[in-house]
């Protein structure tokens, strides 16, 4: 791990879609954001659940699995099959809980590199990721310049601002102050569901835009029987957020939420160094995408990355899409976003095969 | 109460500063926001604590107590001396808790009117309030057109958007899901401090601006001993928010937080009616102020009020101040804001005395 600790072993859960070409030149790594997992597209056989990026990944879709070999793994520290705080520690035979080593974005990409090594892929045609996935994509291009041909960070940032850290910290505090959290030791009892639900609700408000919330809910009301907050009137947005919170707790581990949000906050690509030094060995070409209405990862953060790359003579394209759905825009079907991704990726493949 | 319930009695805690003129033409009512109270300025004798609007209220200050008689009361439903959920119900001899009637902004101003009746003031020279205080100011001008000469809503809104409701609901959910909340019955045990602290932390992030958080904290770090979230590194903004949360619980009642945020969310000045109908009897002149960097009560909400008043032929001045401190700007000393308030109020008095 980046902090010097060693794990005796770790698991990485991954999904692949499409077919790796004979010369292994068509591999695309998709890195997920905070609450994502390896299940990027396709129906899960047991549950029937579709993938988190179903709208953009699949045959003939933006990330076309007829042409590309798509890999997506759950991050280290997560709870979607990869090793994380809920995993069993081989020496104690109990869940790691808070004894799981501190995880950074750097640790996440080390695990991703081990995976593509395992798959025999020397060079990724592209690495794509939104939000935390974008941080992984950037860092892969910087730390493994020979392994990444094209890099697509979406709605991301080179480092969290105080406000982004602030929102994460409120979520963490909600989890830690839930008595069921019990310093992370809840795996043999009830998890701190309420804390996690509140954390998720905060996240959700920040993922949406003023516009999308207005369109979806406005001031629509529902009337319920029991006055829970000094008034029998409930707004639809309240029910929605409560539902988002309570459904999240069925699929996410509260300790993973603590670890992963901390990894997000700790990420600092430049860390005070001049961008020219950081990007000096980068061989990747960049496509950077931000969303006009995203106030959690506002476009200026993407523009900063664009400027830093330009100053370092990297090849970079940038588009600030005028979608209205805030940070969540990357999850919502949008023909312009889709065609930009699709065209860029086809061009990547074409260029590779022409060389 | 607006919902038809009746309270056998209620208390209203108020502060007054300055001297009421013989013809009672110099009274200014200040209405507080969510977490404020009656203590607007001056040192509290017992605690030495200064008032929440100390920077703007006092001798020779923007709201000059050498010239004006300033009244500020704690809202109905609050916990700063006025009747609220923590008050003792005369019939049961126990705290009302959630049996306190639902409180609206309308109920709050009814109590304010009763207070100025009591003080023998027929007409307020001005009513001023920021945020929730602005809602009270607007509604006073609408419901009691003969009682308000000038109205100054600051960083406020005619109705909460889905996003504003969303942030409030996350705070309420944090309180309600704290097991110590116990459906509001905690007055003989420990209050749901953790829930309230989380609610306050969320509030705090929304009160600040990207800029002010960056200036204050940036990515400054502290190192602590115990890894509380999978990493021993703490950002200064985390400590600050934790401190804000934990100090708030010493002075605020969680049930009041539920009632007051609900009153905020329920407020809807137009409620679908044409503005001309709502404002038809208004005699007040308006000074409306918003802050450029306020993303919780964004300037477009103030502009909507300006347009609605203009359409109704009301006299209205509007300024969008370029302060950088987000919603909190109204609390932070700013010479431009101060001189705008001061000049407007002197003019109000001058005009009154010329008539």
Per the CB < 8 Å rule, is B214 touching A103?
A: no
pLDDT tens for each residue of B167-204: 999 999 999 999 999 999 999 999 999 999 999 999 99
Over 90: is that where the pLDDT of B205 sits? Answer: yes
Cβ–Cβ < 8 Å for A82, A111: yes
Report yes or no: A167 at the B interface, CB cutoff 8 Å: yes
SS (H, E, C) A146-215: HHECEEEEECCCCECCHHHHHHHHHHHHHHHCCHHHHHHCCCCCCCCHHHHHHHHHHHHHHHCCHHHHHH
Q: Which of residues 51-110 of A touch B (CB under 8 A)?
A: 77, 85, 98, 100, 102-103
Residue B228 pLDDT class (50, 70, 90 cuts): low
For A139, A271, A278, the CA distances from A284, given in Å and listed in that order, are 11, 21, 13
Burial B159-175 (b: 16+ CB within 10 A, else e): bbbbbbbbbbbbbbbbb
Q: How many CA atoms lie within 13 A of B319 on its CB side?
A: 12
The whole-number pLDDT of residue B355 equals 67
Q: Which residues pair with B117 in a beta bridge?
A: none
A261: contact with B, CB 8 A cutoff: yes
Among the listed ranges A148-152, B131-135, B349-353, which one has the minimum average pLDDT value? B349-353
Strand A27-31 versus strand B233-235 pairing type: unpaired
Chain B residues with beta carbon closer than 8 angstroms to that of A177: 178, 194-195, 197-198
* A221 Cβ under 8 Å from any chain B Cβ: no
Phi/psi for A301 (5° steps) reads -70, -35
Residue found under tokens 């937080």: B257
Place of tokens 């809910």: A217
> Any CB–CB contact under 8 A between B304 and chain A?
no
Residues in chain B: 355
Q: A57 or B246: whose pLDDT is higher?
A: A57
Please report, in angstroms and rounded to a whole number, the separation of the first and last CA atoms in chain A. Answer: 37
> For B181, how many CA atoms within 13 A lie in the half-sphere containing its CB?
23
Residue B326, chain A, CB below 8 Å: the answer is: no
pLDDT of residue A47: 85
Residues of A whose CB is below 8 A from B195:
177
Strands B63-64 and A316-321: unpaired
Measured in angstroms, the CA of A355 and the nearest CA of chain B are apart by 43
Q: How confident is the model at residue B44 (pLDDT cuts 50, 70, 90)?
A: confident
Chain B, 10 to 39: residues with Cβ < 8 Å from chain A are none
Question: What is the predicted pLDDT for the residue at B47?
Answer: 85
CA B249 to chain centre: 18
Tell me the shortest Cα–Cα distance from B261 to chain A, in angstroms. Answer: 9
* Average pLDDT value over all residues in chain B: 95
Nearest to B101 by CA among B73, B136, B76: B76
Domain annotation for chain A: domains and CATH numbers: 14-160+269-354 (3.40.50.1820), 164-261 (1.10.1740.110)
Which two tokens mark B19?
């001297």
> Which residue carries 């477009």 as its tokens?
B300
Quick one: pLDDT at residue B295? 96
| Token pair listed for B3 | 């919902």
Residue with tokens 């950074």: A104
Size of interface A-B (CB pairs under 8 A): 182
Cβ-contact B28, B53 below 8 angstroms? no
Q: Is 60 exceeded by the pLDDT of residue B226?
A: no
Model pLDDT, residue A45: 82
pTM: 0.95
C-alpha B132/C-alpha B149 separation (Å) is 20
Give the model's pLDDT for residue A234: 86
**C-beta atoms of A214 and B161 within 8 A:** yes
Locate A103 and state its tokens: 């995880």
What is residue B8's predicted lDDT score, i.e. its pLDDT?
87
Per-residue pLDDT tens listing for chain A (355 residues): 999 999 989 999 999 999 999 999 999 999 999 999 999 999 988 888 999 999 999 999 999 999 999 999 999 999 999 999 999 999 999 999 999 999 999 999 999 999 999 999 999 999 999 999 999 999 999 999 999 999 999 999 999 999 999 999 999 999 999 999 999 999 999 999 999 999 999 999 999 998 999 999 999 998 765 556 666 678 999 999 989 998 999 999 999 999 999 999 999 999 999 999 999 999 999 999 999 999 999 999 999 999 999 999 999 999 999 999 999 999 999 999 999 999 999 999 999 988 6
Q: What is the pLDDT of residue B27?
A: 98
Sign of the torsion angle spanned by Cα atoms B41, B47, B49, B52:
negative
Give the number of other CB atoms < 10 A from CB of residue B58: 21
Per-residue confidence (pLDDT) for residue A228, from 0 to 100: 60
pLDDT of residue A46: 84
**A202–B170 CB contact, under 8 Å:** yes
| Dist CA B35 CA B133 (whole Å) | 11
Question: Are B179 and A174 inside 8 Å of each other by CB?
Answer: no
DSSP B159: B
Q: B251-281: per-residue pLDDT in tens?
A: 999 999 999 999 999 999 999 999 999 999 9
Tokens of A150: 């094209």
B161 interface with A at CB cutoff 8 Å: yes
The pLDDT assigned to A355 comes to: 67
Tell me the torsion sign for CA atoms A246, A252, A257, A258. Answer: positive
């Amino acid at each position: 791990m980046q902090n010097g600790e060693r794990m005796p072993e770790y698991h990485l859960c991954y999904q692949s879609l499409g077919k790796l070409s004979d010369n292994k030149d068509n591999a695309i790594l998709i890195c997920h954001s905070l609450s994502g997992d390896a299940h990027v597209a396709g129906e899960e056989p047991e549950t029937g659940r579709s993938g988190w990026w179903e709208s953009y990944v699949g045959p003939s879709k933006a990330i076309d699995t007829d042409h590309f070999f798509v890999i997506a793994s759950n991050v280290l520290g997560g709870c979607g099959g990869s090793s994380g705080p809920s995993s069993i520690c081989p020496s104690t035979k109990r869940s790691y809980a808070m004894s799981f080593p501190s995880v950074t974005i750097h640790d996440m990409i080390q695990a991703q590199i081990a995976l593509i090594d395992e798959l025999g892929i020397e060079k990724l045609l592209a690495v794509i990721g939104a939000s935390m996935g974008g941080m992984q994509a950037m860092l892969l291009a910087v730390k493994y310049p020979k392994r990444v041909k094209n890099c697509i960070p979406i709605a991301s940032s080179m480092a969290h601002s105080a406000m982004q850290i602030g929102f994460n910290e409120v979520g963490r505090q909600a989890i830690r102050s839930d008595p069921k959290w019990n310093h992370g030791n809840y795996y043999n009892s009830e998890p701190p569901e309420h804390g996690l639900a509140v954390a998720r609700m905060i996240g959700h408000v920040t993922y949406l835009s003023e516009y999308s919330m207005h369109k979806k809910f406005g001031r629509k009301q529902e009337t319920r029987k029991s006055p829970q907050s000094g008034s029998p009137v409930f707004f639809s947005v309240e029910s929605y957020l409560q539902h988002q919170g309570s459904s999240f707790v069925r699929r996410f581990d509260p300790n993973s939420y603590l670890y992963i949000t901390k990894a997000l906050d700790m990420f600092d690509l430049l860390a005070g160094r001049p961008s020219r030094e950081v990007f000096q060995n980068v061989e990747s070409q960049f496509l950077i995408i931000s969303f006009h209405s995203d106030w959690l990862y506002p476009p200026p953060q993407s523009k900063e990355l664009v400027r830093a790359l330009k100053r370092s003579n990297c090849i970079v394209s940038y588009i600030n899409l005028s979608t209205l759905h805030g940070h969540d825009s990357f999850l919502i079907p949008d023909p312009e976003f889709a065609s930009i991704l699709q065209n860029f990726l086809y061009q990547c493949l074409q260029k590779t095969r022409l060389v």
